[in-house]
């Protein structure tokens, strides 16, 4: 029996040893995940290279539009409230205001706003009209093309001449009409045009009458009747301004007013 006991004890001891070895090996199993063997690929972002001169390079091909109404002066046009537009959609400086007759229905006029060519006018040739204010007026058609004609405003055109009456009927504000000598009107208009940068002006232009021989001056103006009527129709339609005019032709205005900002 003693041998059998010894054998059992030995077998039990061996079993315990094997169990202990199994526990040691299990404890050596790593508990963390193994490192990945994949290689990480870094993506390089390539930005456009800007050279020192890059800011000077322009991709714009826009060409600034030419100011077709620059002949009216370097400043901006004053909105006169009569919205005639040319074929390009621009508000034209040439505005037909109204056709009118004198109270006795003898004489026909057209009131129009447009531009004078020069800041300073001059005294008219007395062979045309004595002591009138002269300049050049520009009428623009619906294609924004300018048509330039001599213009004389006021002067000794009513017979007999009253030496106590100043020669120019005009308004510096478009409302109050006053009488000026030619030099006074030259000074007033020049100052206004330079200050505003725009030579817009309103004028009452003589067209026709039933008594063309009321004075030497009006007899001469009356001789341009057909051209005056052609210009009047062009003002109405925006086209048909005469390119050829009679020798000595001028547009004649009895009244004028300067255009002011409202």
Domain presence at residue 5: no
Q: SS in 3 state form for the chain? A: CHHHHHHHHHHHHHHHHHHHHHHHHHHCCCCCCCCCCCCCCCCCCCCCCCCCCHHHCCCCCCCCCCCCCHHHCCCCCCCCCCCCECCCCCECCCEEEEEEECCCCCEEEEEEEEEECCCCCEECCCCCCECCEEEEEEEECCCCCEEEEEEEECCECCCCCCCCCCCEEEECCCCCCEEECHHHHHHHHHHHHHHHCCCEEEEEEEEEECCCCCCHHHHHHHCCHHHHHHHHHHHHHCCCCCCCCCCCCCEEEEEEEECCCC
Domain presence at residue 182: yes
pLDDT tens track for 185-214: 999 999 999 999 999 999 999 998 887 667
Quote the number of domains for the chain.
1
The per-residue pLDDT for 145 is 96
Domain presence at residue 224: yes
Domain presence at residue 198: yes
What's this model's pTM, rounded to 2 decimal places?
A: 0.74
pLDDT tens track for 46-74: 333 343 443 444 444 444 456 789 999 99
- Mean pLDDT, the chain, as a whole number? 80
Name, of 55-64, 79-88, 202-211, 227-236, the range with top average pLDDT: 227-236
Domain presence at residue 10: no
Domain presence at residue 210: yes
Domain span including residue 85: 70-258
Domain presence at residue 8: no
């Amino acid at each position: 029996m003693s041998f059998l006991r010894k054998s059992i004890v030995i077998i039990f001891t061996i079993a315990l040893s094997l169990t202990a070895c199994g526990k040691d090996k299990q404890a050596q199993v790593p508990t963390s995940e193994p490192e990945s063997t994949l290689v990480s690929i870094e993506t390089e972002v390539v930005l456009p290279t800007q050279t020192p001169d890059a800011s000077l390079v322009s991709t714009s091909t826009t060409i600034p539009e030419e100011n077709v109404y620059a002949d009216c002066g370097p400043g901006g046009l004053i909105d006169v409230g009569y919205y005639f537009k040319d074929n390009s959609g621009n508000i034209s400086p040439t505005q037909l205001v109204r056709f009118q007759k004198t109270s006795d229905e003898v004489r026909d006029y057209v009131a129009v706003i447009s531009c004078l060519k020069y800041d300073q006018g001059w005294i008219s040739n007395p062979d045309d009209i004595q002591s009138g204010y002269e300049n050049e007026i520009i009428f623009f058609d619906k294609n924004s093309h300018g048509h330039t004609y001599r213009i004389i405003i006021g002067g000794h055109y009513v017979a007999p001449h009253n030496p106590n009456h100043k020669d120019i009927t005009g308004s510096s504000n478009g409302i109050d009409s006053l009488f000026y000598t030619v030099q006074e009107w030259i000074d007033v208009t020049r100052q206004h045009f330079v200050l505003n940068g725009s030579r817009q002006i309103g004028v009452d232009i003589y067209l026709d009458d039933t008594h063309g021989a009321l004075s030497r001056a009006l007899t001469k103006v009356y001789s341009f009747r057909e051209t005056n009527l052609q210009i009047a129709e062009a003002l109405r339609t925006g086209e048909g301004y005469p390119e050829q005019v009679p020798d000595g032709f001028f547009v004649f205005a009895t009244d004028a007013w300067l255009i002011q900002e409202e």
